[in-house]
Structure 1
Amino acid sequence: MGTDGFVRGRTWGLVAVTSLAAHTAFIRPRLLTWGASSDEVTRAYPGDELVPNADGSSTMATTLPAPPTEVWPWLLQMGCNRAGWYSWDRFDNGGQRSADRIVRDWQSLEVGQHLDAVPSGDAWFTVAVLDTQKTLVLRSALVLPFGRPFDPLSGTAPGSYVDSIWGFHLAPAAGGRTRLVVRTRSRSRPRLLTRPMDVLFWEPAHLVMQSRQFHNLCMRLRAGG
Structure 2
Amino acid sequence: MTGTLPTLWGVTPDETTRRYPCDELLPDPRATWFRGIDVAAPAPVVHRWLCQLRVAPYSYDLLDNLGRRSPRTLTPGVDELAPGQTVMTLFELVSFARAGHLTIRLRGGPGRRVLGDFVLTYDVRETAPGRSRLVVKVLLGGGGGPVARLRRKTLAWGDLLMMRKQLRTLRDLAERTPSDVDPG
Q: Which TM-score bucket, shorter chain as reference?
A: 0.7 to 0.9
Q: Which residue of structure 2 aligns with residue 36 of structure 1?
A: 11
1:58 aligned to 2:58?
Answer: no
Distance in 2 of aligned mates of 1:190 and 1:135: 30
Distance in 1 of aligned mates of 2:43 and 2:24: 24
Identity of aligned pairs, percent? 26
**Cα offset, 1:68, TM superposition:** 0.8
Largest Rg, 1 or 2: 1
Runs ≥4 in structure 1, deviation > 4 angstroms? none
Q: Is the 8 A contact 1:165 1:186 kept in 2?
A: yes
Distance in 2 of aligned mates of 1:91 and 1:202: 15
Q: Which residues in structure 2 correspond to 1:62-77 (within 5 Å)?
A: 62-77=37-52
What per-residue deviation string (whole Å, max 9, x for no partner) do you get for residues 125-157 of structure 1?
A: 1111111110110001445xx43x6xxxxxxxx
Letter in 1 for 2:26: V
Structure 2 CA distance for partners of 1:41 and 1:116, relative to 1, 3 Å:
closer
Q: Across the two proteins, how many residue pairs are aligned to each other?
A: 176
Query: Which residue of the other structure, out of 102, 105, 117, is the alignment partner of 2:74?
Result: 102
- Give the CA RMSD over aligned residues: 2.0
1:163 aligned to 2:117?
Answer: yes
Q: Which residue of structure 1 aligns with residue 57 of structure 2?
A: 85
Query: Which residue of the other structure, out of 139, 149, 157, is the alignment partner of 1:195?
Result: 149
Distance in 1 of aligned mates of 2:85 and 2:172: 28
Q: Which residue of structure 1 aligns with residue 171 of structure 2?
A: 218
1:125 aligned to 2:78?
Answer: no
Q: Which residue of structure 2 aligns with residue 138 of structure 1?
A: 104
Q: Which has the higher contact order (CA 8 A, sep 6+)?
A: 2
Q: Is the 8 A contact 2:123 2:134 kept in 1?
A: yes
Structure 2 CA distance for partners of 1:33 and 1:97, relative to 1, 3 Å:
same
TM-score (norm 1): 0.72
- Partner of 2:84, secondary structure, is coil
Letter in 2 for 1:187: G
Structure 2, unpaired ranges of 5+ = 179-184
- Greater share of helix: 1
Structure 1, unpaired ranges of 5+ = 1-27, 118-123, 150-157
- Partner of 2:66, secondary structure, is coil
Letter in 2 for 1:134: G
Structure 2 CA distance for partners of 1:128 and 1:179, relative to 1, 3 Å:
same
Structure 2 CA distance for partners of 1:114 and 1:214, relative to 1, 3 Å:
closer
TM-score (norm 2): 0.87
Distance in 1 of aligned mates of 2:24 and 2:120: 12
Q: Is the 8 A contact 1:161 1:189 kept in 2?
A: no
What per-residue deviation string (whole Å, max 9, x for no partner) do you get for residues 17-72 of structure 1?
A: xxxxxxxxxxx933211000001011111121201110011111111110011111
Q: Which residue of structure 1 aligns with residue 23 of structure 2?
A: 48
Distance in 2 of aligned mates of 1:127 and 1:77: 12
